[in-house]
Structure 1
Amino acid sequence: MPPKKVLVVEDEANARAGLAELITSWGYRTEAAADGAAGFDMAQRWSPDIVVSDLMMPRMDGLQLLDRLSELPQSFLAVILTAHGAIDSAVTAMRMGAFDYLQKPVDPAKLKTILQNASEQIDSAPASAEGGRPATGAATTDDMDHLGPLVGRSQAMQSVFRTIERIAPTNVSVLITGESGTGKELAARALHQFSGRKNKPFVAVNCAAIPETLIESEIFGHERGAFTGAQERRAGCFELAEDGTLLLDEIGEMPAATQAKLLRVLEDRKLRRLGAREETPVNVRVIAATNKDPQQAVASGELRGDLYYRLNVFHIQMPALRDHAEDIPLIAAAMLTDMNQRHGTSVPGITPQLLARLQSYPWPGNARELRNTMERAVILAGNERLALHHLPEGFGEAGHIPPPHQAAPAASHPPISASIAVPTSQPGMSAPDVVEVAVGTTVDEAEKQLILKTLVATRNNKTRAAEILGISSKTLQNKLKEYNSDAGR
């Protein structure tokens, strides 16, 4: 491959000359321009592969230059240089399509890594139809019903697809939000699949599932003897994901001290293992996910504001399944194909009556609950088409599970009790259990009954119970501690 062409746009003469000389010493072909207007003229004539531009410049600043460069037919990757305190403008540049940003004064090692990543992305991207230059998108088209592991033709899912297409080839951090079971990890895997890192590791870690005392070791690694029981050196998730993608699921459950350390790694691209004296460079794209409202989490102190702004360069909101029920036939068909392969079954399809029932159900557990329901039905059906009798008794019928997102209908006479179903989807259990809650029961007591009944139904599987209840494992543990404390009074 011929050396990449790098255009340096910087209004300060010494900085411009120093950057151009440094980048040339790394083997790149380099040109320089004194401001945004001159940079735009040079880009038109020279067609650089990478543009390294300052933000604050006379005549045309970095954001205006990015906007003008986007009008040119040739593609390029932009790296923005920003002074401390102008991070908001750098984030705006990333949202406009910049590949990455770097704070001034420039750290040569960080700049070299960014340019290497940009070059690798250019080399791995498919050639476009015009002139063979690399395309920066994910090479998909509108109205596709699949994007990697994601499925859907609805407007909500098509919006998710377009966002993933746009940002997957970049190196930006992404925050994915949505209710439990909406497919946040699948969206993260799609971002990885359509990026230049697709042939490198994808590592997913659930921050809520790791004990607080071990989370730093799991994420950042440790040296031998760093703590009691550390008998050997161990790489953390960052090092395991080197050159690839790291998904930090349930980021709001991460302890505050670990969040501070994570922020440092994101900014410096270096980490220090527990017990280590030296820092280790890392090259990892970080994607975070949470089922909480991140702004509320920041307001409550669960999530650091500076970490939120560093992660939330781009935001993907995964829609609840009830909000794109028109996609259920497609999703169910994809799940059926997968389950036939995994279970060795030959279920030929799904009856219209069952599809109608699936589409009318509110799915409080979203796609995860749909998968559990489908899996149970496939195992029962064997070689038959999936039909209503393969569902748990009463599934989806009126009054079976009141949708949590809707108000209960008015009644002329108040009921004596309310029934809340616990959809366990456990092998060997034919139908959901029901919690009877008498009128006059407090909300706290009703919640306690539902949690304890769900644990019984899942045979004390706390992870599964938390999934059914739509809460994190940590929240469930805290509730159980509270109940034990109350019992001891």
Structure 2
Amino acid sequence: MDGLEKVLIVEDELHARTGLTELVASWGYRAEGAADGVEGLEKAVEWGPSIVVTDLKMPRMDGMELLHKIGMLPQRIAVVMLTAQGSIESAVEAMRMGAYDYIPKPVDPVRLKTILHNASDQREADVEMEVTRRQVRSAGRLGPLVGNSPQMMEVFSLIERVAPSNVSVLVTGESGTGKELVARALHELSARRLKPFVAVNCAAIPETLIESEIFGHEKGAFTGAQERRAGCFELAEEGTLLLDEIGEMPAATQAKLLRVLEDRKLRRLGSKVETPVDVRVVAATNKDPEQAVASGELRGDLYYRLNVFNIRMPTLREHLMDVSAIAEKLIDDMNERHNCTVAGLKDALIRRLEDYQWPGNVRELRNTIERAVILAGNGMLGIEHLPPNFGEPGSVPSSAGGRAPMTATGGSADAAAAASREVQRYLDEQNTVRVEVGTTVDEAERQLILKTLSSTHNNKTKAAEILGISAKTLQNKLKEYSNSSND
């Protein structure tokens, strides 16, 4: 801990101000107090603290106005808001305005110490972030994200602004747009970057297990619970937790999640005690969250708690100018994964890729590039490495994802095209459901679901998207088939 780190306590109640100042000083900080927002602003300008801990309601100038004025100062100051019971909405609004974090009264010393420690670490992250900003301007990249379009630059800007804070973020956008990459970028650009990043798909966990997976359980909490198990929150301690497809989470679990977000304490299944947690939560959904709230799939209070900051990922068809840059990045990834030496994209292929509308977004582009890299092996990718009839009216987008059984390692365009046709015949065979005359509708449906699940390598989320049903419906169908086989 840097003993010269300055912390300013702004609190109109004398005893509370004196107690907090002495407590913070005992942790190795240089701490001073101010009696209200006016005095606090004066000391912020003259003394230059790196952190300000301020009460929300004060005479002359309240905490919200102080936060706004501190945000206008040239130096970067982390503001932590003290809130009384019942003013959580004000705290959330403060975080929207740029507060680093908030802590309810009476102040929990352990939590305050953790917040100050993280805010101090953020100063180091700020230096790295400025380097990253320069890289973004010159190369169009931010962590795992790629793009030079205005749409992606807006996403980069939002990530840069919110990453240093502990505020919850809701990432929205169609499937395949890269919502998890946004969460990873937020993590990598925060003071939590050296701590765990944990991602959990709420739609992929059976309803009976999701609460245990997220919050953990004690030994004997339910049948089969033979030992204590930490949930995703505890696994992500001091790091970042991504809750993907949050709208698929059961209502009872949503209520418990809301409690954890507000109190920052959780209770494992079967436990009688609460465990403090320090986790930054990022939620993602491919649905319109307001429609999900209206339909009852997503609790309104949870939505407003998660939606402190919203980042919408554009569809790929909205920023087609980034297709070639993303494809080049994917080629580098696939060369390493498949031990290939593809050098880049031919101009004709770039034009074809930019003319396509990409209903599967970046995920579909990734599958297309992976397949092409495997087919080519080396040299430049051309149109001959695309799936047959790619981009033509009435053609079906490929979802092979590079699962071809053979590769071409160069040679003429005719040889590459022949190899492409051979691979496609194999893929068509693998992804075809044959239904005999007399087969019942239920049996045909079962075959279609199981074949689709097999083609996605048991990825239930992707299978549900292909089938056009919800992940919950797919889970129910699979449970029904399992029960039938056991009868």
The answer (yes or no) to whether the contact 1:422–1:457 under 8 Å persists in 2 is: no
Distance in 1, Cα, partners of 2:135 & 2:65 = 28
The answer (yes or no) to whether the contact 2:132–2:142 under 8 Å persists in 1 is: no
Aligned twin of 1:415: none
The answer (yes or no) to whether the contact 1:6–1:28 under 8 Å persists in 2 is: yes
State the SS of the aligned residue for 1:246. Answer: strand
Query: 1:453 and 1:277, CA in 2 relative to 1: closer, same or farther beyond 3 A?
Result: closer
Distance in 1, Cα, partners of 2:377 & 2:171 = 37
1:162 pairs with 2:136: no
| 1:292, distance to aligned residue in structure 2 (A) | 0.9
| 1:95, distance to aligned residue in structure 2 (A) | 2.2
Aligned twin of 2:35: 34
Query: 1:69 and 1:18, CA in 2 relative to 1: closer, same or farther beyond 3 A?
Result: same
Aligned twin of 1:179: 174
Aligned twin of 1:131: none
Query: 1:360 and 1:215, CA in 2 relative to 1: closer, same or farther beyond 3 A?
Result: same
Aligned twin of 1:278: 273
Q: Which aligned pairs between 1:446-465 and structure 2 lie closer than 5 A?
A: 456=451, 459=454, 461=456, 463=459, 464-465=462-463
1:288 pairs with 2:269: no
Aligned twin of 2:411: none
| 1:470, distance to aligned residue in structure 2 (A) | 6.6
What CA deviation, in whole Å up to 9, does each residue of 1:313-333 have, x standing for no partner? 111100001111110000000
1:374 pairs with 2:369: yes
The answer (yes or no) to whether the contact 2:80–2:103 under 8 Å persists in 1 is: yes
State the SS of the aligned residue for 1:52. Answer: strand
What CA deviation, in whole Å up to 9, does each residue of 1:123-155 have, x standing for no partner? 554289xxxxxx799675546410000000000
What is the TM-score of this pair, normalised by structure 1?
0.84
Aligned twin of 1:120: 121
| 1:483, distance to aligned residue in structure 2 (A) | 11
The answer (yes or no) to whether the contact 1:320–1:366 under 8 Å persists in 2 is: yes
Query: 1:344 and 1:178, CA in 2 relative to 1: closer, same or farther beyond 3 A?
Result: same
Distance in 2, Cα, partners of 1:64 & 1:251 = 34
What CA deviation, in whole Å up to 9, does each residue of 1:160-183 have, x standing for no partner? 001111111111111111111000
Distance in 1, Cα, partners of 2:315 & 2:61 = 43
State the SS of the aligned residue for 1:385. Answer: strand
- Match for 1:167: what amino acid? V
2:329 pairs with one of 320, 328, 334: 334
Gaps of 5+ in 2: 406-422, 433-440
| 1:22, distance to aligned residue in structure 2 (A) | 3.1
Query: 1:449 and 1:174, CA in 2 relative to 1: closer, same or farther beyond 3 A?
Result: farther
State the SS of the aligned residue for 1:430. Answer: helix
| 1:101, distance to aligned residue in structure 2 (A) | 1.2
Aligned twin of 1:404: none
2:471 pairs with one of 460, 470, 473: 473
Q: Which aligned pairs between 1:195-210 and structure 2 lie closer than 5 A?
A: 195-210=190-205
Query: 1:25 and 1:177, CA in 2 relative to 1: closer, same or farther beyond 3 A?
Result: same
State the SS of the aligned residue for 2:343. Answer: coil
Query: 1:190 and 1:470, CA in 2 relative to 1: closer, same or farther beyond 3 A?
Result: farther
| 1:20, distance to aligned residue in structure 2 (A) | 2.4
Query: 1:458 and 1:356, CA in 2 relative to 1: closer, same or farther beyond 3 A?
Result: farther
The answer (yes or no) to whether the contact 1:40–1:68 under 8 Å persists in 2 is: yes
- Match for 1:321: what amino acid? L
Distance in 2, Cα, partners of 1:352 & 1:471 = 38
Gaps of 5+ in 1: 129-134, 402-420, 436-444
1:79 pairs with 2:80: yes
Distance in 2, Cα, partners of 1:4 & 1:376 = 53
Aligned twin of 1:301: 296
Once structures 1 and 2 are overlaid, which stretch shifts more, 119-128 or 354-363?
119-128
| 1:51, distance to aligned residue in structure 2 (A) | 0.3
Aligned twin of 2:64: 63
| 1:396, distance to aligned residue in structure 2 (A) | 0.7
Distance in 1, Cα, partners of 2:131 & 2:295 = 38
1:232 pairs with one of 227, 231, 243: 227
C-alpha RMSD of the superposition: 3.0
Distance in 1, Cα, partners of 2:259 & 2:142 = 33
1:427 pairs with one of 383, 386, 404: 404
Distance in 2, Cα, partners of 1:169 & 1:228 = 42
What is the TM-score of this pair, normalised by structure 2?
0.84
Aligned twin of 1:409: none
Aligned twin of 1:95: 96
| 1:430, distance to aligned residue in structure 2 (A) | 0.6
| 1:156, distance to aligned residue in structure 2 (A) | 0.5
Aligned twin of 1:109: 110
1:215 pairs with 2:213: no
| 1:86, distance to aligned residue in structure 2 (A) | 3.3
1:5 pairs with 2:6: yes
1:352 pairs with one of 347, 350, 359: 347
The answer (yes or no) to whether the contact 1:205–1:248 under 8 Å persists in 2 is: yes
The answer (yes or no) to whether the contact 2:206–2:475 under 8 Å persists in 1 is: no
Residue identity over aligned pairs, in percent, reads 63
Count, aligned residues: 450
- Match for 1:427: what amino acid? A
- Match for 2:11: what amino acid? E
Aligned twin of 1:54: 55
| 1:66, distance to aligned residue in structure 2 (A) | 1.6
1:322 pairs with 2:317: yes
2:254 pairs with one of 248, 253, 259: 259
The answer (yes or no) to whether the contact 1:138–1:168 under 8 Å persists in 2 is: no
The answer (yes or no) to whether the contact 1:422–1:454 under 8 Å persists in 2 is: no
The answer (yes or no) to whether the contact 2:135–2:141 under 8 Å persists in 1 is: no
Query: 1:264 and 1:139, CA in 2 relative to 1: closer, same or farther beyond 3 A?
Result: farther
The answer (yes or no) to whether the contact 2:368–2:398 under 8 Å persists in 1 is: no
Distance in 2, Cα, partners of 1:391 & 1:10 = 65
Aligned twin of 2:245: 250
Once structures 1 and 2 are overlaid, which stretch shifts more, 463-472 or 31-40?
463-472
Distance in 2, Cα, partners of 1:273 & 1:313 = 26
| 1:456, distance to aligned residue in structure 2 (A) | 3.6
State the SS of the aligned residue for 2:319. Answer: helix
- Match for 1:363: what amino acid? W
The answer (yes or no) to whether the contact 2:136–2:142 under 8 Å persists in 1 is: no
Distance in 2, Cα, partners of 1:327 & 1:450 = 39
1:22 pairs with 2:23: yes
Distance in 1, Cα, partners of 2:298 & 2:131 = 32
1:398 pairs with 2:393: yes
Greater percentage in helix: 2
Aligned twin of 1:269: 264
- Match for 1:474: what amino acid? K
State the SS of the aligned residue for 1:227. Answer: coil
Once structures 1 and 2 are overlaid, which stretch shifts more, 184-193 or 105-114?
105-114
Distance in 2, Cα, partners of 1:127 & 1:2 = 22
Once structures 1 and 2 are overlaid, which stretch shifts more, 97-106 or 12-21?
12-21
State the SS of the aligned residue for 1:349. Answer: strand
Aligned twin of 1:416: none
Aligned twin of 2:436: none
